[in-house]
Amino acid sequence: MSEQTDVLVVGAGGGGAVLGLALAKRGIKSLVLEQAPGPPTGLRGEILQPNGQQVLDGLGLFSQLPTDVIKPVRYFHFYRAGGERLCTVDYSVLPPPYNRALVMLSNAVHHVILHALEARCPGGLRYGTRFKGLLREGKRVVGVVAERDGTSFTVSAKLVVGADGAFSKVRAALEIPTKLHCYSQGYLIAILENAEGIEDARYLVGRRTILGLFPASGGKAYLFYMIPAGSMEQVKASGIEALQAEWRRIDPALHKTFQSLVDWGQTAYMPTARVRAGTWVADGAVLIGDAAHAMNPHASQGRMQAMVDAVTLADVVATCLERGDYSASALAPFERLRRPQVTMLQQMADEQVLFWNTGNPLLAYLRNRVFKTLDRNRRLRYRVLAATAGLRSKPAFGLLDRLMAAGLLPDPQATQLPPEATASGAEV
Ligand SMILES: Cc1cc2nc3c(=O)[nH]c(=O)nc-3n(C[C@H](O)[C@H](O)[C@H](O)COP(=O)(O)OP(=O)(O)OC[C@H]3O[C@@H](n4cnc5c(N)ncnc54)[C@H](O)[C@@H]3O)c2cc1C
């Protein structure tokens, strides 16, 4: 069996599904292959940052999100584990209307995207279908070999997109040199009852300790708790009460919320990895999302960056289609447009890994000092927030800013928002 399409997308995750929809909106023929048997159902905490909100709005999906799955959050408070508040970040200073974070119920955004894709492009999304290998003519990729129900078939395509996640098989088949780093810490995620009724996000950092709590809709709360990679079974073996006691030590104020963990079914494990693919483009193929650039979740941008990749690539593909050219050089504008922000976010996330995940007292002292400076310094606080919100591509801090953040230099503009904030219509 052989089929033909213009763009073949491998993976209907955060990036692939958005790409399928963005292409369909432009009238570009595409086929999305997904190995899972249907839409995802597992637990995942999802924070929709301002840039992600913007992408959904641009696709006409924002208004379709059911209101009962969204919890807008304005303040993120950072605390020392078991102790004092270090810093508060206020999303309302960002340019409206995307001047808040949205905590979403698990998979809610993704289901809306998949539904829109299937409505717009009936038959254009195939579940239970696995990418097996690439078809080539010389060096050029001209399609894929896939498998469904144990039967192999081929699809020829002008462009193959690897949107198949951090451990991408498409990337491997393209033989793209890649640095894949698995971090030594992952996250236990839990969905709990928001028994204390928190309205703001809380982030507690201590010695090799990170505990995050986010209010969610329906009286729920998400919890993120850093644990050594691969230690979930050990955590489970120690029992729920031991875990609750540890959480109470870190955040004594949320005793009742922690009590609402009664079953391991309320939890999931989130591994963390970073991908640095040497190139994202080849003749007839391109990588997007985690396949190209997975990042540590400290950036809170993994899914957002996959979505931004998708809409950016859809524009580039439209030009390729007009010119009949899907070579690596015709696709290069995609990588040029996207690399700077992704690289900046990967670096920022890794700096946060170094200082936030640390057990080293000196690094922890510096981290807390920077948090306290940020709490007083409106300009630097805005810069970090704008980067996390996906609204800038340049690093949040230059060298002088770093010295100021560490409290080694005074900042004469500490009380002002930076010029880019006022130019973008942010609240002054
Ligand atoms: C538990 C959890 C919580 C997260 N929370 C957040 C968050 O709050 N905010 C955030 O921004 N990011 C978050 N992330 C990260 C975010 O989910 C990813 O960065 C994002 O989904 C990347 O999108 P992607 O399309 O590149 O990859 P994925 O979403 O991983 O999608 C890849 C898809 O490809 C499919 N696939 C893989 N191999 C094949 C194959 N051979 N054939 C066919 N299909 C294949 C997979 O089944 C999958 O559906 C979280 C991740 C996890 C695991």
Single-letter residue type at 255: H
Average pLDDT, consecutive stretches of 10 residues, N- to C-terminus, the chain (428 residues) = 91 98 96 97 90 96 91 97 96 96 94 96 96 97 98 98 98 98 97 98 96 97 97 98 98 97 97 97 98 95 97 98 97 98 97 93 95 97 97 95 94 92 64
Atom of ligand 1 nearest to the CA of 288: 26
The residue contributing the CA closest to ligand 1 atom 7 is: 46
Tell me the CA–centroid distance for residue 294 and ligand 1, in Å: 9
pLDDT tens for residues 403-422?
Answer: 999 999 999 999 999 988 87
Whether 321 lines ligand 1, by a CB cut-off of 6 Å, is no
pTM exceeds 0.85 for this model = yes
Residues 149 and 134: their CA atoms lie apart, in Å, by: 19
Q: What is the pLDDT of residue 1?
A: 58
* Mutate which of 125, 164, 304 for ligand 1 pocket (most atoms within 8 A of beta carbon): 164
C-beta of 298 in contact with ligand 1 (< 6 A): no
* Residue 53 beta carbon below 6 angstroms from any ligand 1 atom: no
Q: Distance between CA atoms of 114 and 61, rounded to whole angstroms?
A: 11
CA neighbor of 139 nearest in space, from 104, 170, 112, 174: 174
**95 close to 424: Cβ distance less than 8 angstroms:** yes
Would the CB of 36 count as within 6 Å of ligand 1? yes
Residue 169 CB less than 6 A away from ligand 1: yes
pLDDT in tens, 31-75: 999 999 999 998 987 899 999 999 999 999 988 899 999 999 999
Determine the distance separating the centroid of ligand 1 and the alpha carbon of 356, expressed in angstroms. 24
Residue 277 near ligand 1, beta carbon < 6 Å = no
Is 13 touching ligand 1 by the criterion CB < 6 Å?
yes
> Residue 210 has what pLDDT?
96
Closest protein CA for atom 15 of ligand 1: 302
Residue 425: what pLDDT? Answer: 59
CA of 362 to the centre of ligand 1 (A): 35
Give CA–CA dist 182/319, Å, rounded. Answer: 36
Q: Is the CB of 148 under 6 A from ligand 1?
A: no
Integer Cα distance of 351 and 311 in angstroms: 28
Question: What pLDDT, on the 0 to 100 scale, is given for residue 426?
Answer: 60
274 lines ligand 1 (CB under 6 A): no
Identify the pLDDT of residue 427: 53
302 within ligand 1 shell (Cβ under 6 A): yes
Ligand 1 atom closest to the Cα of residue 49 is 11
What is the pLDDT, as a whole number, of residue 424?
67
Domains of the chain: 2-44+107-182+273-348 (3.50.50.60), 72-102+184-270 (3.30.9.30), 360-423 (no CATH)
DSSP state for residue 342 in the 8-state scheme: H
Instruction: For a ligand 1 pocket test, name from 31, 35, 222, 304 the mutation site with the most ligand atoms within 8 angstroms of its C-beta.
Output: 35
Closest CA to 129 of 154, 111, 108, 158: 154
Tell which phi-psi region holds residue 77, choosing left (phi > 0), alpha (psi between -120 and 50) or beta: beta
Instruction: Evaluate: CB of 35 within 6 angstroms of ligand 1.
Output: yes
Residue 310: how many other CB atoms lie within 10 Å: 27
Cα 223 from chain centroid?
17
Helix (H) or strand (E) holding 292: helix 290-293
d(CA 57, CA 59): 5
Ligand 1 atom index nearest CA of 48: 9
> What pLDDT is recorded for position 287?
98
Which helix (H) or strand (E) segment holds residue 348: the answer is: helix 328-356
